[in-house]
Structures are given as structure tokens and as C-alpha cells.
Amino acid sequence: MTKIFSYITLLFWLSGVSCSPPRSFPVNYYKENEEKIHALNYHYQTLYLQKPFAAEFNDKRFEIVSFELKTDSLRYIFEFPVDDPHIKDTLKKFGYNPTALLQLVNDMKEIRCTWINTLDYYVDDNKRLLTFLSIRHKALDIPFSPKKYFILTIYEQKQYYDAQGRLLDKRNLRRLRKVNNEIFWRINDKVCYTLSAKFR
């Protein structure tokens, strides 16, 4: 009886271990890729300010890219194989810099970033922007684990955190600030992370 109980306990323990990503993954990943992440963010924000857009890799192999091109009247969604020569024509037609956007796509691929976008949030009725980056990493590709995406939010201003390192709302420092309905944890003053089942 004791043996059976031990086996069951072991099984539960193993399933718990195999279904969770390593706890150190977010911070280690960030440290290893810090320069590339911030270069990507800077590059994206520079291009976004010229003309808003979001970019997504649609597949595991990072071979098909999708752009959401935001014009004044419409949001166009295009999907292309990364090496498709027609991407440039399309981006050019909508007034984007094709070379710069394709470089950004390469930078995304390098750090396995599957989605990059800008989100608005409000502090004292003032609109602020953050960069929302989703990373699809092999370390998170664990069977039965729903949280497949490592998400980083990058802010222009310093953020507030509680003693556990959870992101707080500036308006009410007792309240957790959620982004896309997720609680975020501190990496540094301006960067937080979460693990999520959704990439956006």
C-alpha cells in the first residue's frame, strides 16, 4: 500500500515537473537576450511612430509572417512567406519602409519573437504606450503545459511593483495592473514578463 502511494506521489511530482517551464527561464532568457530585445524594441518603436503596424510569425518554423498595417481608415492584414519577394511591394504601397520592416522581421526571428505590437494604457486619463512582445521558445514547448508564450512588456516610464515583484497600478498601488488579463512580474523597472497561453 505504501509502495503504491509512493508511486502515485512520484507520478504526480513528475507530471508537475514536466508540465512546468523552468522557473529561472524568464530572467535567464532576458539576460541572455537583453541587448537584442531592446534593439528590437527601439527599432520597432521608431518604425511604429512613422506608421503604426504589428507583426506576427504564424508558424512554428518562423517562415510565414503576417503584418497588420494600420492606415487612417482601415487595418489590412497580410500573410506572406518570409522570403516572398512581393512583401516589399505591398509594404511600399502602404507607405512603409520595406527594408527596415524586413530587418525587423529578421530580428524577431533571431529571438523567436512571434508577435510584436504596441498597446495603449491609461494613467490619470493620459494615454501611454507599451511594447508587447511574445516569444515562442522551445523551453516552453512542454506537453500539457498551456503556457506556451513568454511575454514581455516594455514601458517608457518606471513601473511600480509589490514585494513579490508583481506589476502594480499607479492609480492604486494596492491593485495589480493587468495587461491582456494577465498578471506581470518584474524583470527591471521598465520591463515585466508573464507566461501565457495566448500570444496576444
Partner 1 sequence: MMRFLIFQGFMLLFVSFVYAQPSHVKTTSFTNKQLALNYLNEVHELKKSASWPHIKPDLYLRNLRRNIEDPDFLFAGRNTNFCSYAALGYVLLKEDPLGYVQFMVDLYQNGKASYRNTDFTPSKGIKETAGQLIYEGELDRNEADQVLFFTLADHFKGYLNILNRNYSPGDEQKIWASTNLSKFNRMLRAMFKMEIHSKGGDLVRPKVKNLSAFLNEKLSKGNVFLYLNNTVLHRKFHHKTKKRIPTHYVVLLGITEANNAATITFWDAGYKTRKTINMHTLRWILYGISWSENKDKH
Q: Which residues bind partner 1 (CB under 8 A)?
A: 56, 58-60, 64, 70, 73-81, 84, 86-87, 89-90, 93, 114, 119-122, 125, 136, 148-149, 169, 177-181, 197-200
Query: In the complex, what is the shortest distance from the CB of residue 167 to partner 1, in angstroms, rounded to a whole number?
Result: 11
C-alpha–C-alpha distance, residues 47 and 188, integer Å: 25
Q: In degrees, to the nearest 5, what angle opens at C-alpha 112 toward C-alphas 41 and 95?
A: 50
Query: In the complex, what is the shortest distance from the CB of residue 13 to partner 1, in angstroms, rounded to a whole number?
Result: 27
Based on CB atoms, which residue is closest to partner 1, 167 or 191? 167
Q: What DSSP string describes 65-109?
A: EEEEEE-SS-EEEEEEETT-THHHHHHHHTT--HHHHHHHHHHHH
Query: In the complex, what is the shortest distance from the CB of residue 51 to partner 1, in angstroms, rounded to a whole number?
Result: 15
Query: In the complex, what is the shortest distance from the CB of residue 8 to partner 1, in angstroms, rounded to a whole number?
Result: 29
In terms of DSSP H, where are the helices of the chain? Answer: 2-18, 25-50, 86-93, 98-110
C-alpha–C-alpha distance, residues 50 and 40, integer Å: 16
Based on CB atoms, which residue is closest to partner 1, 63 or 110? 63
Based on CB atoms, which residue is closest to partner 1, 45 or 90? 90
